Amino acid sequence: MAHHKSALKRIRQDQKKRLHNRFYHKSTRTAIKKLRKMTDKEQAKAFLPSVISMIDRLAKRNIIHSNKAGNLKSKLTKLVNSL
């Protein structure tokens, strides 16, 4: 157990940030799965920019690594183009 006021506050803040990050990470993964299941090319092309935006946001906030974000965007773009 923490002994200082500042340490207790840091624990509260970290817990709040963790839940916030989990929500954004999970919602992005769900959007990626939804995009991968799409079969209509026009619908997938329309949905791709919003998924890429979500991935960029995760990378900007250091929730995922920037290289992983790049790999995901590349693979999803290739997938949509191949439909």
- For residue range 10-46, what is the model confidence (pLDDT) as tens digits? 999 999 999 999 999 999 999 999 999 999 999 999 9
DSSP 3-state of 62:
coil
Query: Is the pTM here over 0.85, yes or no?
Result: no
Q: Tokens 């995760």 sit at which residue? A: 58
Q: Please give the helix or strand (H or E) that residue 39 lies within, else none.
A: none
Could you tell me the sign of the dihedral formed by the alpha carbons of 40, 43, 46, 50, in that order? negative
The average confidence (pLDDT) of the chain is 95
DSSP 3-state of 31:
helix
